[in-house]
Amino acid sequence: MPIFQLSNKKLIPVKEKSFDLEIAIQKLTEENLETIFGLKFISGALNQEFSIRAQEQDFYIDTLAFDEDQKSFIIIEYKKDKSISVIDQGFAYLSAMLNHKADFILELNERLHKTFTKKDIDWEQSRVIFISTEFTNYQRNAINFKDLPIFLYEARIYDNNIVEYDPIKPYRTTESIGSVSKDKTIQAVSKEVKVYSFQDHLQRVSPEYKDLFIRLHDELMKIGGGITENVTTNYVGFRFHGTNYAAISCKAGKIVVHFRMKTKPPTSLKIEKRPQSAWDITPLWKTIVFDESHLPKVLEIAQHAYKDYASRFKNG
């Protein structure tokens, strides 16, 4: 779908330009990694690309990033060769990382001056992102699995310096990559790297809370524009510009809601401030939803959290 600019009540198509060089996409992405994906930059074209040797093969990682919320590594690759399989390459990189965890920990600690150990990292949440100006139909169709830890984004630049990172969504996600592929690398990685869905979390909720959990999920997705679902091991997050403004989970059968916001809004609900870690810029607040009557008040807090973060992003 073309992008239009509104001028005097008329829509004018915005002309797409081409990136001069592939490295231009990489540097632009690294310089704006937190804005685009909500990730922390570790290494890449801006300093020095990280590389390891695994199974008699050298792996040069274009961009190595860190998800501060999940405490997990994200590998970002910029596709130049249209014939290479994103599945094969993606799982090869994940396999190399899982077999050389100490090297990745060392790179993280040295670059960001941290003291992480292997047990501090959630290896289940390891992911690979491929970025290209255009993917082939073969590459697009390759991601039609429900538990694939690989994501595709097409990067485009337009007149007026408008830049778009367009996520390529799978057409269908009914089958598991682990059950279909007999490839040993894919099988090994699939045992350690997991992708969860909303339905996985819904199954943990007590029967009397399931309808409320579904409704709360749907309402939090509609609080404002630009919200995407971010499902992890422990929660279903609602992400806006790379950061979860809210998240829901099930603890002991009950629904727990977390909000990311600077201050507690006026509310009669019991809401607690979570201990703030060294990574956290904005405090987390927690409340428990017991019944339907709590929903309007929870959504009022959600509006506050969303607007709080949206205003800081706009002003930043």
Give the whole-angstrom CA distance, residue 274 versus residue 256.
13
Residue 242 has pLDDT above 80, yes or no: no
Task: Judge contact between 112 and 140, C-beta under 8 A.
Answer: no
Number of domains the chain is built from = 2
Considering the domain architecture, whether residues 18 and 159 belong to the same structural domain is answered as: yes
Same domain, 155 and 214: no
In this model, does residue 179 exceed pLDDT 80? no
pLDDT in tens, 72-86: 999 999 987 677 789
Domain's final residue, options 163, 192, 221: 192
| 211 in the same domain as 62 | no
Q: For residues 183 and 198, what is the distance between their CA atoms, to the nearest angstrom?
A: 28
Average pLDDT over residues 176-203: 88
Q: Does residue 279 have a pLDDT over 70?
A: no
Q: In the listed set 192, 221, 252, which residue is the last one of a domain according to the structure?
A: 192
The predicted model gives 290-295 an average pLDDT of 86
Residue 114 in this model has a pLDDT that exceeds 90: yes
Q: How confident is the model at residue 277 (pLDDT cuts 50, 70, 90)?
A: low
Mean pLDDT over the full length of the chain? 88
Helix (H, G, I), strand (E, B) or coil at 293: helix
Rounded to an integer, what distance in angstroms lies between the CA atom of residue 63 and that of residue 40?
A: 11
In this structure, what CATH number is given to the domain that contains residue 236? 3.30.1460
Residues 25 and 142 in one domain: yes
- Torsion, Cα 234 236 240 245, to 10 degrees, reads -70
Both 169 and 216 in a single domain? no
Range of the domain at 121: 4-192
The predicted pLDDT at position 115 comes to 93
The pLDDT value recorded for residue 47 is 94
Q: Of the candidates 170, 192, 214, which is a domain's last residue?
A: 192
Regarding whether 177 and 294 lie in a shared domain, the answer is no
Query: Average pLDDT for residues 23-49, to the nearest whole number?
Result: 93
Cα separation of 196 and 187, whole Å?
Answer: 17
State the average pLDDT over residues 261-275: 80
CB atoms within 10 A of CB 36: 19
Residue 215 and residue 230: Cα distance in Å, rounded? 17
Where would I find the H helices in the chain? 22-31, 33-37, 86-98, 101-112, 137-141, 177-180, 184-192, 198-202, 210-221, 295-315
> pLDDT at residue 315 above 70?
no
Give the chain's radius of gyration (CA, Å).
21
Please say whether the beta carbons of 259 and 284 come within 8 A: yes
Residue 61: predicted pLDDT: 95
C-alpha closest to that of 238 among 150, 183, 154, 298: 298
Q: Are residues 130 and 228 in the same domain?
A: no
Short-list 185, 91, 198, 200, CA closest to 142: 91
On whether both 43 and 123 belong to a single domain, the answer is yes
Region 191-195 average pLDDT: 92
Shared domain for 177 and 209, answered yes or no, is: no
What distance in Å separates the CA atoms of residue 91 and residue 157, rounded to the nearest whole number? 29
pLDDT of 312:
64
Better pLDDT: 175 or 298: 298
pLDDT attached to residue 222:
93
The one-letter amino acid code at 310 reads A
For residues 38 and 64, membership in a common domain is answered with yes
Query: Do 224 and 183 reside in the same domain of the chain?
Result: no
